[in-house]
Amino acid sequence: MIEAKDKQYIWHPFTQMKGWLEHSQTVITDANGIKLIDSNGREYYDAVSSLWVNIHGHRRTEIDQAIIRQLGRVAHSTALGLANMPAAEYAEQLIKAAPAGLTKVFYSDDGSTAVEVAIKMAFQYWRHQGRPDKKRFVALEQAYHGDTVGTVSVGGIDLFHRVFKPLLFAPFYIPSPSCYHCRLADSPASCNLACARQLEKLLEEKHHEIAALVIEPLVQAAAGMLMSPPGYLARVRELTRKYDVLLIADEVATGFGRTGRLFACEHENVDPDFMCLSKGITGGYLPLAATLTTDRIYNEFLGEMAEKRTFYHGHSYTANQLGCAAALASLKIFSDEQVIAGLAPKIAAISANMAKLKEHEHVGDARQCGMIAGIELMQNKELKQPYSWEQCIGAKVCAKAREYGVFIRPVGDVVVFMPPLCVSPDDIDLMLGVVARSVEEIC
């Protein structure tokens, strides 16, 4: 019944609807902890945190109650001309938890808009500075920052972004700093961060035209969990500072504990000029996003109305009170339960499973950054020869895992594992055991 209505009326994201209509589909009706439950009562481990959003599990009493309490007062009031309590309280808490120098919070609704806001602020900042020539952006090959026109412009995934190129502004691209796929050097031990050297060359030549560099710190998520070598992010910060290029850290996927720290930038003591957050911000309950920035940027937008320094950007649901109440409750769980400190045995369990998976003849790479893992499947591991696109091998492995009760998603031929942070080491062993078995049966 529901499936039929879905098929009749809904156009799903990132989905070839012909294939969707041809197959039977799962309808989720309930959830509990790290499990989703379908309309037939069947349970599935949520091994991708409902697309990287869920943090403390489904139906967490503290978050449920915070939303219910807020519903008893007011669900939403506009942020245009009005302030509200949960938004102000949360902004204060978030700034205290964020890297040094970030002092202001601009709310929006999802990861794409969080990055879109940073791009527009960076662009406008240089105009206020009397430097309209600084209007271009640097992006990484394989980058993914969302699906709005601005964020697609700084995207670098051919499959998603190429069709829109005639509609977009063109950034400067630098190589993706992924050691497994590196074309610049033979070995990470001897490369001396050749990928960062490419950025240095670009900035030496073009810095006077460049407003900002946009980066997913440590992990390029939608590219297939591509992980940068130690020192790369710190070097990017050093170079952008040297050449007066703003740094936009897109922590939409990496934020809120995924990398083993609250924010990925912390691993290399990086203080960006903008930090973009969404996904895990409400613990995976409600759509909310935040773009954090510094006094340097904020002060440049202050002035009399006639000076036209206002940032003319906002959304109907900006600073939504329910979302901010959920975000406050989620952050409180982080501190009450010492969530970050408790990740060590879970990270170790993922590592042990990655080491085993790597031995499989069709697993080219099994990489991990904290609670994020990617298992890259290869037709021929020695030659690093991928499967053909038509084989849809990643999708087939994930379909098999679903038969065994684990809901997991691929990006291309990379099986992504990103469970809620509340997962136990035993659950990790179980889920990755199912992935290993599925790889064995399909590849």
Q: Which positions make up the binding site for substrate?
A: 144, 279, 314, 409
By CB under 6 A, which span of 86-94, 142-150, 193-201, 304-312 interacts with ligand PLP?
142-150
Of 28 and 51, nearer to ligand PLP (C-beta) is 51
Nearer to ligand PLP, 110 or 427 (CB): 110
Task: Please report how close the Cβ of residue 397 comes to ligand PLP at its closest, in angstroms.
Answer: 20
Q: Counting contacts by CB under 6 A, is residue 116 touching ligand PLP?
A: no
112 binds ligand PLP (CB under 6 A): yes
Binding flag, residue 364, ligand PLP (CB under 6 A): no
CA distances from 431 to 25, 32, 45, 46, 393 (A): 21, 16, 7, 9, 19
Which of 110/273 has CB closer to ligand PLP?
110
Positive or negative, the CA dihedral 177, 371, 400, 436 is positive
Among residues 86, 99, 146, 175, which is the contact residue for ligand PLP, using CB under 6 A?
146
Give the CA distances from residue 62 to residues 328, 333, 441, in Å, rounded to whole numbers and listed in that order.
Answer: 10, 8, 41
The torsion angle over the Cα atoms of residues 389, 391, 397 and 399, rounded to 10 degrees, is: 100
Specify the stretch interacting with ligand PLP by CB under 6 A; choose among 96-104, 127-135, 198-206, 248-256: 248-256
Q: Does the footprint of ligand PLP cover residue 212 (CB under 6 A)?
A: no
3-state percent breakdown (helix, strand, coil) of the chain, nearest 5: 40, 20, 40
Contact present, 102 and 271 (Cβ < 8 Å): yes
- What number of chain residues touch ligand PLP (CB under 6 A)? 14
| 263 is a contact residue toward ligand PLP (CB under 6 A) | no
Residue 214 binds ligand PLP (CB under 6 A): no
Which residue has the CB atom at the shortest distance from ligand PLP?
111
Rounded Cα gap, residues 66 and 410, in angstroms = 33
* Helix orientation angle between 425-442 and 344-358, rounded to the nearest 10 degrees: 20
The answer to whether 410 contacts ligand PLP (rule: CB under 6 A) is no
CA angle 290–292–296, rounded 5-degree value? 155
Asked whether position 327 contacts ligand PLP by CB under 6 A, the answer is no
When asked if residue 144 is in the footprint of ligand PLP (CB under 6 A), the reply is: yes
In the three-class reduction of DSSP (H, G, I as helix; E, B as strand; rest coil), residue 367 is classed as strand
Residue 144 or 417: the one with the smaller Cβ distance to ligand PLP is 144
> Is residue 222 near ligand PLP by the rule CB under 6 A?
yes
Residue closer to ligand PLP, measured from CB, 142 or 368: 142
Which run of H or of E encompasses 214? strand 210-215
If one asks whether residue 213 binds ligand PLP (CB under 6 A), the answer comes out as no
Tell me the DSSP string of 105-162. EEEESSHHHHHHHHHHHHHHHHHHTT-TT--EEEEETT----SSHHHHHT---HHHHG
Rounded-to-integer distance, Cα 98 and Cα 102, Å: 7
58, 60, 134, 145: which one contacts ligand PLP (CB under 6 A)? 145
What CA–CA distance (Å, rounded) separates 374 from 227? 9
Q: Which is nearer to ligand PLP, 116 or 376 (CB)?
A: 116
| Residue 220 C-beta: closest distance to ligand PLP, Å | 8
In the complex, what is the shortest distance from the CB of residue 154 to ligand PLP, in angstroms, rounded to a whole number? Answer: 10
Of 34, 45, 63, 110, the residue at the interface with ligand PLP (CB under 6 A) is: 110
* Residue among 33 and 255 whose Cβ is closer to ligand PLP: 255
Q: Are 204 and 211 in contact (CB under 8 A)?
A: no
d(CA 418, CA 370): 10
- Four-residue CA torsion sign, 219, 220, 225, 227: negative
Binding flag, residue 329, ligand PLP (CB under 6 A)? no
Residues 171, 139: Cα–Cα separation, whole Å: 6
Q: Which is nearer to ligand PLP, 262 or 378 (CB)?
A: 262
In this chain, which stretch among 88-96, 215-223, 227-235, 323-331 interacts with ligand PLP, using CB under 6 A?
A: 215-223
122, 246, 247, 253: residue in contact with ligand PLP (rule CB under 6 A): 253
User: Exactly one of 66, 221, 233, 247 binds ligand PLP (CB under 6 A); which one?
Assistant: 221
The per-residue DSSP string of 31-84 comes to: EEBTEEEETTS-EEEETTHHHHT-SS-BT-HHHHHHHHHHHTT-S---SSS---
Where does this chain touch ligand PLP (CB under 6 A) — which range of 250-258, 322-330, 380-388, 392-400?
250-258
Identity of the residue numbered 200: E
Please report, as ranges, the residues that interact with ligand PLP according to CB under 6 A.
110-112, 115, 144-146, 216, 221-222, 250, 252-253, 278
